[in-house]
Structure formats: C-alpha cells, structure tokens
C-alpha cells in the first residue's frame, strides 16, 4: 500500500491530537484513502514532555527546517501558530514544493493572498479547514459543496472563548474574568486571549470565509471589529427581557455590490438557532441561492475536533497525490483570475436595528431631549424602557430603534453623551433579526 509521508510542525494541543488521531484511526483512514499516513517527523521546541504518543523519539526534533527540508516528506502540517516563524516555514515549504495543511487562521487571513500566489506558482496544495470553526467543515462546504450557489450572506459564532464567556455570564452570572480564566484552563483560548475577546480571532476567520463566499481577495484590514469586553450583565439581562441573546457574531453580507464585513456583539432573537449554540461550540449559517439557509454547528476548538479537520485535509491532499491531480479545488473557491473586485462596505453605511442604554438622570425632559436628537438624525425609536438599578445619580434608560444607519446612530450618541443629564458612554449593541 502507498504511504504518504507527513511532517508536523508544532506538537501543542492540536499537533498532539493529529498524531493521536492518525495513530488511533490508522486502519480506518487507510480503508478510506487506500494509503497509509505516516508521520515521519515532528518538530517542537519541547520534545521532552510525554504526550502519550507511541511515536518513537528519533522522529522528534527541535529543528523545524529539518522537517521541511526532508526530501522524503510529502505534506507539511503547520501548527506553530502566529505569523512570523510560521510564515517563514510556509514559504520554505512552498519553495521545496511541499504541500501544506494548516490551522493558522491569523497567517491565512493576513498573508493568504501572497502565500496562495506563491503556492500556485510551485503547484503546491494548501488546505486550511481547521483554520475556521474547528471541526465544522465550512471551508469544504464553501469551496466544494456550494459550487453552484451564489452566496448572499453568511454569519457565524466563530470564537469558542467568547461564546463560552457570554454563556457563563448569561447562565451562571459568572464574572468576565472568571469565565475567561476557565476558557484558558480548558485550552481553547489563544495564547494571547486579547485576540479572542477583542474580536480579532473572529475577524481572521471572517476574512477567510468572505473570500471563499464572494470570490474576493482576503481582506482583513477593512473588517469592522468590536469584541465583548464592554458587555455587562445588565445588558445581557435586559436583552433577555426583550427576547434576545447576545452573541459575538461574524457577519459577511452582500449589500449593494459591496460586502458587509463586521464582527461585534449582536442581539439575536432567542428563537434563532444561534441562540441555542452555547459554551465553546461554534456555528456558521450560509444563505446560498439554491440551498437557501444552511447551518453547521460543532466544536470550534479543542484537541480532537481541530485534529479531525487537519486529518480531513491530509486525506484530501493525499488523494490528490495518489490521483496526480493537485490543486483540483482553487484555494479560495474561485480561480485566481476569476476573482471579483469587491470592496467592504464602510461601517458608516451599514444599517441595522440598535439597542442603546444610557445612564440618565431621572429628571423631567431627559427623554424628550434624547428623542429629539434621535429625530434630528432620522432615527426612529421603536420602544423606550426605564429600568431598575443604577445609583443615586442615574438610572438605566434603554431604547430599541428601528433600522438606522450606523453613521447616524454614532453621531446621535456623541450629541447625547455631551448632555449634562447623561453619565458616561452609552452602551450600543446591534440587533439582527
């Protein structure tokens, strides 16, 4: 039986999972592939820790380049993470004509356009299913299953850490710090959790999905990004009273010939499927012209779920090697010369409904002055609620708007926050039905 030789860079959680899965499912994989996957070498800075693998120690090295340069190896699995050294390894592997599987969303989102161009020149396959939403097969779905569909919009809960934190605050009243610490202990937070909680990790994943969905170059820089650090328990409770859950959503939508690309906390109806996606679970919804809505739900992080996506890519590339049909599927769905010149809609132009909470002095005339400013900016108020709580100075005043333009709401908030009767900054959460 043919053997496909693999080199792994990075023996952290996912690398260990990949080695374990290949060991444990050796027979099953060969029954499906008609070839054996053989891990020839693994590089990691720490090759002393016992990770419970049966791989012999002479296959472990601290020298990543010795893996990439090994002429025996067909496919490099890059699980180093980060952008600097991982990029060097990527470029070296491409130069050597090695196919690559990666889970590195930051690298693909920031440097994918360039790396894919280089890979195409060398006839190298690059697969990155594990880079978005862990085990959920969204890349394959976009690249292959939806080939006959124009995508109209997509949305997702793409960060397990944020979803876990919001779930713990909502269901247990946990503090943000405690919930984040638990996410870190569970191993699904990034080494730098700022990437999770400030929304950047979700933006990396959205940049990749938008490119696959709309045939545009990967555009990370123009995505609007807002994380979950400003979400309070009060806002979560008020949202609940109005029939909404708060989730950190990635939204990619075609609007008037441009792509809306935004990551922010979003109120969604409690009846929406996303509202029941809790803890570290991820979900992606896509609206295809032929399919209508489809939803995929599953573990977005963790050792074996992520390893499952990596192994699926290894099997795909191995099939290409066996059949001699490399680059069968374009890296980003569309042939590179048939991609669309699409730009991202400026956030100012986005329209949606809004939840706004002010801390306002409980005095006559406050409400009419706020309403007046909203009116000046053409913002229609759907409902107003004065809530219990607050302090001797101020009470929470919550307003839900009709559909308004982002630029207008932001201008209105500047004017309202300047009023003596308002304390601090307003809380603003976008609502998607």
Site of interaction with ligand HSE (CB under 6 A): 134, 159-161, 188-190, 196, 201, 300-301
Distance CA 219, CA 203 (A): 10
Phi, then psi, of 388 in degrees rounded to 5:
-70, 165
**Which one of the listed residues 41, 87, 105, 205 is annotated catalytic?**
205
Q: Report the nearest approach of ligand HSE to the CB of residue 206 (Å).
A: 12
If phi > 0 it is left, if psi is from -120 to 50 it is alpha, else beta; for residue 51 that is alpha
Q: Report the nearest approach of ligand HSE to the CB of residue 161 (Å).
A: 3
Q: Report the nearest approach of ligand HSE to the CB of residue 282 (Å).
A: 7
Closest CA to 296 of 419, 129, 90, 69: 129
29 vs 301, which CB is nearer to ligand HSE?
301
187 vs 346, which CB is nearer to ligand HSE?
187
Closest CA to 64 of 83, 38, 90: 90
Q: Report the nearest approach of ligand HSE to the CB of residue 306 (Å).
A: 7
Question: Would you call 46 exposed, middle or buried from its count of C-beta atoms within 10 A (0-12, 13-18, 19+)?
Answer: exposed
207 vs 398, which CB is nearer to ligand HSE?
207
Closest CA to 53 of 26, 22, 28: 22
Closest CA to 358 of 431, 433, 409: 409
Question: Is the Cβ–Cβ distance between 359 and 232 less than 8 Å?
Answer: no
Q: Report the nearest approach of ligand HSE to the CB of residue 134 (Å).
A: 6
188 vs 374, which CB is nearer to ligand HSE?
188
The per-residue b/e assignment along 12-37, b for 16 or more CB within 10 angstroms, e otherwise, is: bbbbbbbbbbbeeeeeebeeebebbb
Q: Which residue has the tokens 């499952």?
A: 308
Distance CA 374, CA 380 (A): 7
183 vs 431, which CB is nearer to ligand HSE?
183
Please indicate whether residue 205 is annotated as part of the active site. Answer: yes
Q: Report the nearest approach of ligand HSE to the CB of residue 106 (Å).
A: 10
129 vs 408, which CB is nearer to ligand HSE?
129
Residues annotated as part of the active site = 205
């Amino acid at each position: 039986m043919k053997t496909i030789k693999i080199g792994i860079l990075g023996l952290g959680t996912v690398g260990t999972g990949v080695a374990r899965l290949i060991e444990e499912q050796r027979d099953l994989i060969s029954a499906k592939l008609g070839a054996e996957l053989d891990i020839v070498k693994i590089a990691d800075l720490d090759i002393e820790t016992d990770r419970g693998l049966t791989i012999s120690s002479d296959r472990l090295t601290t020298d990543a380049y010795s893996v990439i340069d090994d002429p025996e190896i067909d496919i490099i699995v890059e699980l180093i993470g980060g952008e600097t050294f991982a990029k060097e390894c990527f470029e070296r592997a491409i130069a050597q004509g090695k196919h690559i599987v990666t889970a590195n969303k930051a690298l693909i989102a920031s440097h994918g356009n360039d790396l894919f161009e280089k890979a195409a020149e060398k006839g190298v396959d690059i697969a990155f299913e594990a880079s978005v939403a862990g085990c959920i097969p969204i890349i394959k779905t976009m690249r292959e299953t939806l080939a006959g569909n124009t995508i109209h919009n997509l949305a997702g809960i793409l960060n397990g850490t944020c979803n876990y934190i919001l779930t713990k605050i909502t269901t247990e009243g946990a503090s943000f710090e405690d919930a984040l610490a638990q996410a870190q202990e569970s191993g699904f937070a990034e080494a730098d959790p700022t990437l999770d909680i400030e929304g950047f990790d979700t933006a990396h994943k959205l940049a990749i999905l938008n490119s696959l969905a709309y045939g545009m170059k990967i555009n990370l820089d123009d995505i609007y990004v807002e994380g979950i650090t400003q979400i309070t328990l009060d806002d979560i409770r008020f949202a609940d009273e109005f029939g909404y859950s708060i989730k950190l959503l990635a939204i990619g939508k075609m609007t008037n010939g441009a792509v809306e690309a935004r990551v922010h906390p979003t109120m969604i109806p409690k009846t929406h499927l996303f509202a029941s996606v809790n803890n570290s679970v991820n979900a992606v919804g896509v609206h295809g012209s032929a399919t209508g809505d489809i939803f995929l739900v599953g573990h977005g992080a963790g050792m074996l779920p992520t390893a499952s996506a990596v192994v699926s890519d290894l099997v795909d590339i191995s099939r290409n090697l066996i059949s001699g049909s490399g680059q069968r599927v374009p890296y980003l769905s569309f042939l590179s010369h048939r991609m669309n010149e699409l730009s991202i809609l400026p956030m100012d132009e986005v329209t949606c409904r809004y939840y706004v909470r002010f801390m306002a002095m409980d005095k006559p005339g406050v409400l009419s002055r706020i309403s007046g400013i909203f009116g000046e900016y053409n913002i229609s108020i759907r409902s107003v609620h004065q809530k219990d709580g607050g302090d001797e100075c101020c009470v929470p005043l919550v307003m839900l708007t009709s559909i308004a333009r982002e630029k207008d709401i932001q201008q209105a908030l500047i004017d309202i926050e300047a009023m003596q009767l308002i304390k601090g900054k307003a809380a603003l959460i976008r609502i998607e039905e």
